[in-house]
């Protein structure tokens, strides 16, 4: 019964969201196309008419990108808020009635103050209430997380008007979320909670990856260590999977933002603590590519290395900060020939990811990376396989058939620890898993 209009300046993106075949919508996420198909045209609409939607809306969610700055003060760490400011100025220009404006993008603490300053100085007498409502959806399980959230967090002012705005948004979520899962805080606590949540999750990944290197040196098995410590109720088992490192649009960006905020307040020890999470993650990617080179007799020049997966995690076509990009870049520097199979990522996206690094000319990247539509063609004639994404289908292949098509000895570098090591070794593969 609530009308939702999604607007974007990118006309092609809106065309794609309105595609009659919902399998072609821009984001792959299990369950998403079914929801779009069921609601689109009824109370869900996609449009480029931004000003019309602003004028008609009672509640406006700002959900634009907040990338890490690539220029000026805070370059490489601070969040770039230019898109947030553009949204606020457009809302201020168009709005003729009172509005509730909701921060949905991940933002540095006290951004709401800047948005409110812009909105309150329009001179047209419109009253705005600013709420912070960060999302805690994980790609690959976003629909499930949305329908059955751990919590909904809403931050707002403690004024009567602020409380009324908070209650209005609570009433939206209460349509499908129990109210005991809806937390209300002040705006600053809500903004900082999102950064903190992502920092803590990333920290766990870097922690287990640090232990994976120690396990390799000592003969311990990182999977067994993770299982043992995960059974401690104070620790729990989630995010203790050793891997090539975390990717995605959030973790690195949000931790760098946290580091920048801490430094701006002179909290250098706090900044150093969180920056180490990023340092460990970068080290894990380099360690994995170095392991491939060293194992293949210290040279991969003109050798075919097959990547299984390019997306940063399974059940998504998102490749932002994917470990595969950086491992591929390292191996191409060593003159390897990379072949890739990913069930959801296009060759154009892979080439765009590599070209964005500006390590070498685009023509050289294009010659060094080949994509395939199935795993068996991708692996034929390879010297080694590197598992970079934990797609479920990778565990179901006919590995005997794959082994027979490869150069011998045939190596598997399981960067996601999803394959059966004993089974692969019984076939004849030389297996190298993270931390084992």
- Contact between 184 and 170 under an 8 Å Cβ cutoff? The reply is yes
- Contact between 324 and 307 under an 8 Å Cβ cutoff? The reply is yes
- Contact between 247 and 323 under an 8 Å Cβ cutoff? The reply is yes
φ, ψ (nearest 5 deg) of residue 413: -105, 100
Q: Of the residues 194, 285, 314, 337, which is catalytic? A: 194
Q: Tokens 């349509």 belong to which residue?
A: 175
Distance in angstroms (rounded) separating the CA atoms of residues 400 and 187: 56
3-state secondary structure of 48: coil
* Catalytic residue list contains 241: no
Measure CA 207 to chain center: 19
* Catalytic residue list contains 263: no
Q: Tokens 């620790």 belong to which residue?
A: 235
DSSP-assigned letter for residue 68: B
Closest CA to 101 of 124, 249, 198, 113: 113
Name the token pair of 134: 């960060």
CB atoms inside a 10 Å sphere around CB 405: 13
Burial class from Cβ neighbours inside 10 Å (0-12, 13-18, 19+) for residue 19 reads middle
Closest CA to 16 of 386, 317, 280, 387: 317
Name the token pair of 45: 């609409």
Q: Of the residues 29, 69, 103, 135, which is catalytic? A: 135
Q: Please state, in angstroms and as integers, the Cα–Cα distance from residue 160 to each residue in 129, 130, 167, following that order.
A: 11, 13, 11
* Catalytic residue list contains 215: no
Closest CA to 306 of 363, 359, 376: 376
Q: Of the residues 87, 215, 250, 379, which is catalytic? A: 250
Which residues are catalytically annotated? 135, 194, 250
């Amino acid at each position: 019964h609530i009308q939702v209009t999604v607007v974007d300046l990118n006309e092609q993106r809106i065309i794609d969201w309105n595609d009659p075949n919902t399998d072609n919508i821009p984001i792959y996420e299990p369950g998403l196309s079914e929801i779009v198909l069921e609601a689109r045209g009824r109370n869900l609409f996609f449009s480029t008419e931004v000003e019309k939607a602003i004028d008609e809306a009672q509640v406006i969610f700002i959900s634009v990108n907040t990338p890490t700055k690539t220029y000026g003060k805070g370059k490489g760490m601070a969040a770039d808020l230019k898109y947030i400011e553009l949204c606020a100025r457009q809302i201020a220009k168009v709005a003729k009635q009172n509005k509730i404006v909701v921060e949905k993008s991940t933002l540095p603490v006290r951004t709401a103050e800047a948005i409110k300053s812009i909105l309150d100085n329009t001179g047209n007498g419109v009253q705005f209430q600013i709420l912070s409502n960060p999302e805690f959806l994980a790609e690959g399980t976003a629909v499930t997380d949305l329908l059955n959230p751990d919590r909904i967090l809403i931050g707002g002012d403690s004024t009567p008007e602020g409380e009324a705005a908070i209650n209005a948004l609570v009433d939206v979520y209460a349509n499908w979320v129990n109210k005991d899962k809806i937390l209300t805080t002040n705006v600053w606590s809500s903004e900082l909670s999102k950064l903190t949540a992502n920092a803590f999750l990333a920290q766990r990944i870097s922690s287990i990856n640090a232990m994976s290197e120690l396990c390799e040196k000592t003969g311990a098995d990182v999977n067994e260590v993770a299982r043992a410590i995960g059974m401690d109720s104070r620790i729990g088992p989630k995010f203790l999977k050793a891997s090539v490192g975390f990717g995605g649009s959030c973790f690195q960006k949000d931790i760098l933002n946290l580091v920048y905020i801490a430094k701006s307040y002179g909290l250098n020890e706090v900044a150093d603590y969180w920056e180490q999470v990023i340092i460990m993650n970068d080290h894990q990617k380099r360690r994995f590519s170095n392991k491939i080179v060293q194992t293949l007799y210290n040279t991969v020049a003109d050798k075919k290395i097959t990547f299984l997966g390019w997306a940063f995690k399974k059940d998504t076509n998102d490749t932002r900060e994917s470990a595969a990009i950086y491992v591929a870049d390292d191996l191409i520097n060593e003159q390897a020939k990379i072949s890739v199979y990913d069930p959801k990522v296009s060759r154009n996206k892979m080439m765009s990811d590599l070209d964005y690094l500006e390590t070498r000319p685009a023509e050289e990247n294009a010659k060094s990376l080949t994509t395939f539509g199935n795993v068996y063609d991708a692996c034929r004639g390879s010297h080694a396989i590197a598992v970079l994404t934990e797609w479920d289908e990778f565990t179901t292949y006919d590995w005997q058939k794959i082994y027979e098509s490869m150069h011998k000895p045939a190596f598997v570098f399981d960067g996601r620890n999803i394959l059966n090591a004993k089974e692969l070794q019984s076939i004849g593969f030389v297996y190298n898993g993270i931390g084992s």
